[in-house]
Structure 1
Amino acid sequence: MFAIAAANGGQYPALFAFGDSILDTGNNNNLATITKCNFPPYGRDFVGGTPTGRFCDGKVPSDLIAGSLGIKETLPAYLDLNLRNEDIPTGVSFASGGTGNDILTAQLQGVLSLPAQLKNFQEYIGRLKALVGEERANNIISNSLYLLSSGNNDIAITYANSPLRKVIPFPQYASQLVSWASDFLKQLYGAGARNVWVLSTLPLGCLPGGRTAAGGPLRFCADFVNGQAQLFNSQLSSAVTSLQSTLSGSNLQFIDVYDALLNIINNPLSSGFANVASGCCGTGLFEIGATCNLAVGSCPYPASFVFWDAGHPTQRAYQLIVSSILHQNTTRLSK
């Protein structure tokens, strides 16, 4: 990953993250929601063993990408009460665990919708201009890298459980999700963003919670749930390509996280993993949600697990995923 940082050559002055728990670094901590993780054993492998609100034992992709591109080692949450002024020019995360493209997804969990995250970004721009001046702020906004991860919770939670959405055929719902994502990307572009990486969903049927909910008594990967994710991802990829061709000066890229994680799940021994079906701090056998089951314990060997809890990979799995997608997309570091 250090080669990627060298290739960046300081091209991206900052990194900004939007979307869900894949990129959230603690924005949910002070929200009135149960979708939060600012308590042990979360963060046990983070700097100082601190539970920061990252849905992981350690760093999440927003941190790892920032570090790999030589921007900074961790990406702070914009709503972190301890956010320092010196951290602002190099980027923050606006992502909120549990959110999605569908506003109902955020409402069901009491977290920040994408429009709410965009509003925080606009507030951030004003704060940045006050700190560094309008000219430098505009340069940072237009030349930085933006990440978006959304769709996971819309499919796995809202569509799977909400009667308001279940009446809609999934292909139609997927198209609506992509339309909402496209609208958000246009608004982000309107706010000045030009370089955006749009992440696919995870293979949702292979998450521990997905296996428990839909994988049968043997907890196989739920193929129909993975099929829903694949359909959404295919439509999202096409939409990103279309937007790239229509938004002047933009550099929008679709990033395939689905296959990167599925390859690890299907070939765990080659990556040194011993368990692909259960979360390290949450067995996946009983809990459907994403939070750790504290009764399970603190999990002494997270590096041997692909998943940390019922819905999120471990730091080590994320490291491999980020390494894979960055090396597959090194050419995208040149505009």
Structure 2
Amino acid sequence: MKQLMQALIDQGARLIGLVGLPPMGCLPAVITLTSPFSPRQCNESLSQIAIDFNQKLQSELKAMQTDQGPTIVYFDIYQPLIDILQNPSQFGFDETNIGCCGSGLIEATFACNVGSKICPDPSKYVFFDSIHPTEATYNYIFKKMQPVIDEIIQGQ
């Protein structure tokens, strides 16, 4: 990662933002692969790997930050997403462990296309396909990131 960051710095980057991992064990595709039958629930060990990675990433980024170098910002998506998954009704969601597209169990990207069956109200689903959040979920995640973004903009 240091080599990649150095390449960006060498190219003149003055502001670098990195997004952490989401709760990987809670993605519908991962649930399907690790807990295909009822109850469909998050794979906590895989989500713990994401937590560990995010902590190490933040530590590395902090160590790389210097007064003379670019501003390096970490964006947390894990906590906002886990907040939604643990209290979906508080955020207006009905469905947390399947996606809106197709069966919602394994379809993603090209397998979720114009020929796919789509749920009647994507805003009630946390995930659009078996990996990617819906617009409503991204909207909440953005709102949680917005204070950091605003601080960066005001400091420029």
Match among 103, 124, 139 for residue 319 of structure 1: 139
Match among 175, 200, 212 for residue 20 of structure 2: 200
Q: How far apart, CA to CA, are the structure 1 residues paired with 2:132 and 2:104?
A: 11
Equivalent position of 1:220 in the other structure: 41
Equivalent position of 1:331 in the other structure: 151
Greater C-alpha radius of gyration: 1
Q: How far apart, CA to CA, are the structure 1 residues paired with 2:92 and 2:36?
A: 27
Shift of 1:283: 3.0
Q: How far apart, CA to CA, are the structure 2 residues paired with 1:308 and 1:230?
A: 23
> Which aligned pairs between 1:1-335 and structure 2 lie closer than 5 A?
181-215=1-35, 217=37, 218-245=39-66, 248-285=68-105, 287=106, 289-290=108-109, 291-292=111-112, 297-328=117-148, 330-333=150-153, 334-335=155-156
Q: Unpaired segments of 5 or more residues in structure 2?
A: none
Q: How far apart, CA to CA, are the structure 2 residues paired with 1:225 and 1:293?
A: 28
Q: Contact conserved, 2:101 with 2:128, CA < 8 A, in 1?
A: yes
Shift of 1:318: 0.3
Alignment-mate amino acid for residue 142 of structure 2 = V
Paired residues, number: 153
Q: How far apart, CA to CA, are the structure 2 residues paired with 1:282 and 1:243?
A: 43
Over 3 Å counting, the alpha-carbon distance change for 1:282 and 1:262 in structure 2 is farther
Q: TM (normalized to structure 1)?
A: 0.43
Q: How far apart, CA to CA, are the structure 2 residues paired with 1:187 and 1:258?
A: 27
Which structure has more relative contact order (CA 8 Å, sep 6+)? It is 2
Over 3 Å counting, the alpha-carbon distance change for 1:294 and 1:215 in structure 2 is farther
Shift of 1:269: 0.7
Q: TM (normalized to structure 2)?
A: 0.87
Following TM superposition, the consecutive aligned residue runs of length 4 or more in structure 1 with deviations greater than 6 angstroms are: none
Give 3-state SS (helix, strand or coil) of 1:278's partner: strand
Alignment-mate amino acid for residue 54 of structure 2 = N
Give 3-state SS (helix, strand or coil) of 1:320's partner: helix
